[in-house]
Amino acid sequence: MGVGSQDAIKQFQAFIEQVEEPLRGTFQNVHQGHVTETLMRFLKARDWDPSKAYKMLVDCLNWRVQNEIDHILSKPIVPADLYRSVRDSQLIGLSGYSKEGLPVFAIGAGLSTFDKASVHYYVQSHIQINEYRDRIILPSASKKHKRTITTCIKVLDMTGLKLSALNQIKLLTIISSIDDLNYPEKTNTYYITNAPYIFSACWKVVKPLLQERTRRKIQVLPGCGRDELLNVMDYSSLPHFCKREGSGSSRHSETGSENCYSLDHPFHQELYNHIKQQARLREAVEPIKHGSFHVDFPEPPDDEVEIAKTIESELHKYENGNGV
């Protein structure tokens, strides 16, 4: 770490000392005992400008307080059948850990339909997975490996990516904005697998729009990426869609214990049971309202709006060019 970086952290720390309750309380859920690492994440997201990083963090803390994010892990999506529908249409799960101990999240970007529930349930589910990762998964990994682990790896499966993705751009932009503004720099590397031509066409025009630090994190792998990923993780931690010779994935081809998207997978069972347990504990103190957990959607940053418009434009070109 250079002298400039150290000075930026010191300035940022001085700013943070001015923060009072209730922001100070929710900040503890953000840093989980790793204050310096958290400040560095926000500094990286704002090009090491302490003033801009401080504003970003305070905005994040206010968003958390206003939307009761500290309590979101006590707000189960019920009934269970509804939650299963969310899991079947918002494909994400924890497949294992890298050789360095980083959690590996698998995402079925191409086959996620987001059509079984309202937008609010999908946003709620996404934030719950973020919070469970940050409060439970990462601290547990840090303890096991006896070193600070604050980031994860994401493996995206593009199998099934279609023009219908146009219908999902608004929701995906909301989720992306929530992550960028409130969970910055939490992903170490994005691995893209099973990329069809339609992805390649979009990637070609989107890549130049991304910030350099983001571009460096994204690796587009050939086919299912199995050989490349085995340099990073053991076979047991590979997402199910990377374990076969041929490319391709499915929501339902594996059993629940193998398919990390499934509600029957150990990760989702542990997550859902944790949320229900926290709900019971909180219900003993105050009644809990059921229904979706409504979160204020942030205004997407200008660069994300431009990226979304570019993807939409490219998909329309592809649609028109193929006479669809």
Domain stops at, among 33, 67, 101: 67
Query: What confidence score (pLDDT) does residue 25 get?
Result: 96
CATH number, domain with residue 30: 1.10.8
Query: What confidence score (pLDDT) does residue 324 get?
Result: 46
Q: Is the pLDDT of residue 37 over 80?
A: yes
Does residue 61 lie in a domain region? yes
If asked whether residues 50 and 91 sit together in one domain, one would say no
If asked whether residues 132 and 269 sit together in one domain, one would say yes
Query: What confidence score (pLDDT) does residue 166 get?
Result: 64
If asked whether residues 123 and 204 sit together in one domain, one would say yes
Does residue 120 lie in a domain region? yes
Query: What confidence score (pLDDT) does residue 1 get?
Result: 61
CATH number, domain with residue 218: 3.40.525.10
Question: What mean pLDDT comes out for the span 268-281?
Answer: 96
Does residue 101 lie in a domain region? yes
Does residue 280 lie in a domain region? no
Query: What confidence score (pLDDT) does residue 167 get?
Result: 73
If asked whether residues 56 and 95 sit together in one domain, one would say no
Does residue 318 lie in a domain region? no
If asked whether residues 157 and 44 sit together in one domain, one would say no
If asked whether residues 42 and 89 sit together in one domain, one would say no
Higher pLDDT, 239 or 198: 239
Name beta bridge partners: 192: 156, 220
If asked whether residues 133 and 16 sit together in one domain, one would say no
pTM: 0.91
What are the tens digits of pLDDT across the range 165-189?
667 888 988 999 999 999 999 999 9
Query: What confidence score (pLDDT) does residue 286 get?
Result: 73
SS3 sequence, the chain?
Answer: CCHHHHHHHHHHHHHHCCCCCCHHHHHHHHHCCCHHHHHHHHHHHCCCCHHHHHHHHHHHHHHHHHCCHHHHHHCCCCCHHHHHHHHHHCCEEEEEEECCCCEEEEECCCCCCCCCCCHHHHHHHHHHHHHHHHHHHHHHHHHHHCCCCCCEEEEEECCCCCHHHHHHHHHHHHHHHHHHHHCCCCEEEEEEECCCHHHHHHHHHHHHHCCHHHHCCEEECCCCCHHHHCCCECHHHCCHHHCCCCCCCCCCCCCCCCCCCCCCCHHHHHHHHHHHHHHHHHHCCCCCCCCCCCCCCCCCCHHHHHHHHHHHHHHHHHHHHCCC
Does residue 317 lie in a domain region? no
If asked whether residues 87 and 165 sit together in one domain, one would say yes
Does residue 282 lie in a domain region? no
If asked whether residues 159 and 202 sit together in one domain, one would say yes
Q: Could you tell me the residue range of the domain that residue 177 belongs to? A: 76-244+257-275
If asked whether residues 46 and 176 sit together in one domain, one would say no
Domain stops at, among 24, 43, 67: 67
If asked whether residues 83 and 24 sit together in one domain, one would say no
**Total count of domains within the chain:** 2
Does residue 127 lie in a domain region? yes
Q: Return the minimum-mean-pLDDT range out of 2-6, 79-83, 87-91.
A: 2-6
Q: Is the pLDDT of residue 252 over 70?
A: no
What are the tens digits of pLDDT across the range 204-218?
888 888 888 999 999
If asked whether residues 63 and 182 sit together in one domain, one would say no
